[in-house]
Amino acid sequence: MSRSVLTVGDLSAPEISEVLDRALETKRRDDRHGSELSGKTALLIFQKPSLRTRVSFELAVTNLGGQALYLSPPEVGLGERESPEDVGGVAGRFCDLIVCRTFDQSNLERLAAASGVPVVNALSDWEHPCQALADVLTIREHGGTCGRTLTYVGDGNNVARSLAVAAAGEGMHVRVSSPSGYELDEASVAEATRRASESGGSVRLVSDPVEAVSGADVVYTDTWTSMGQELEARQRLEAFTGYQVDAQLVANASAQANVMHCLPAHRGEEITDEVLDGPQSVVLDQAENRLHAQQALLAWLFD
Ligand code: CP
């Protein structure tokens, strides 16, 4: 039976741990190539622009012996030129795997149902599970996960949702700090809390960013205006005043705290240049780990 990863919740905490162990093991090796996708074709359907996700998935498929075919936003017309059912049905006849970046989470579910092949979420408006795998991998490499505090400051968006669930499952104490109206949704908090109760972690929503960051081991932020929300940009800039990750805010965290951002960043909005480019920033490790985490995930799916 094909196994899809449409949300981070499609992977149990032990499964995430297994994938990340595998990623670390492969990353340590000189030869990072495998054969799990030998003779297989992956269709990359992207409805939004991408640097990190597209490049890392193409490389991951190639490193595992497979072939990646990329369809750009204007080529796809998912739900416009053709229904997700028709795209999925056709793709399932040609390909062994679909990697899809889309707006509506239901497009991923419809592709998975129609294609009969594994579908991996490369970002939707609801979740960014592969980003969360790379993020937790990066935290593992920079001091570890279990028992440490991760504070996410900003929009309770797709990145925050996947990250909270994945990090809580690894035993982290997760704090999410957002202005009123932009908090993490109740269902994600409940799932993260459930995982935390099994791992020894915890989850708290803390509206005051200074209190949220106090003593944190990791400070994470993401853009206040995601792709597709451009018309809300001005309103969001106002709403997020006081939530910028700047040197003054980071000074409240542990002295050794790492700063994370999934990129691309709106420099001067959610994060300052000084912090993003500073010595505590691990954003390039995070970006590199997209490759290692996703390669391990694909190898695990096709093992
Ligand atoms: N972080 C991330 O998903 O980057 P891209 O949009 O460049 O893929």
| Mean pLDDT computed over 68-76 | 92
What tens digit of pLDDT does each residue of 109-123 get? 999 999 999 999 999
Percentage of the chain beyond pLDDT 90 is 94
Q: Is the CB of 52 under 6 A from ligand 1?
A: yes
Sign of the C-alpha dihedral, residues 97, 27, 166, 156?
negative
Check if the beta carbon of residue 247 is closer than 8 Å to that of residue 272: yes
What tens digit of pLDDT does each residue of 288-300 get? 999 999 999 999 9
Mean pLDDT of the chain: 97
pLDDT band at 1 (very low <50, low <70, confident <90, very high): low
Atom of ligand 1 nearest to the CA of 49: 6
Kindly give the distance from the C-alpha atom of residue 262 to the centroid of ligand 1, in angstroms, as a whole number: 7
Q: Is the CB of 131 under 6 A from ligand 1?
A: yes
What tens digit of pLDDT does each residue of 116-147 get? 999 999 999 999 999 999 999 999 999 999 99
Query: What pLDDT, on the 0 to 100 scale, is given for residue 226?
Result: 85
Q: Is the CB of 51 under 6 A from ligand 1?
A: yes
Q: Which domains does the chain have, with CATH numbers?
A: 8-128+289-301 (3.40.50.1370), 143-281 (3.40.50.1370)
Question: Which residue's CA is minimally distant from atom 5 of ligand 1?
Answer: 50
Distance CA 181, CA 229 (A): 15
What tens digit of pLDDT does each residue of 147-156 get? 999 999 999 9
Check if the beta carbon of residue 203 is closer than 8 Å to that of residue 189: yes
Atom of ligand 1 nearest to the CA of 53: 8
- Picking from 8, 1, 227, 4, the residue whose alpha carbon sits closest to that of residue 111 is 4
Atom of ligand 1 nearest to the CA of 55: 8
What tens digit of pLDDT does each residue of 171-193 get? 999 999 999 999 999 999 999 99
Q: Is the CB of 297 under 6 A from ligand 1?
A: no
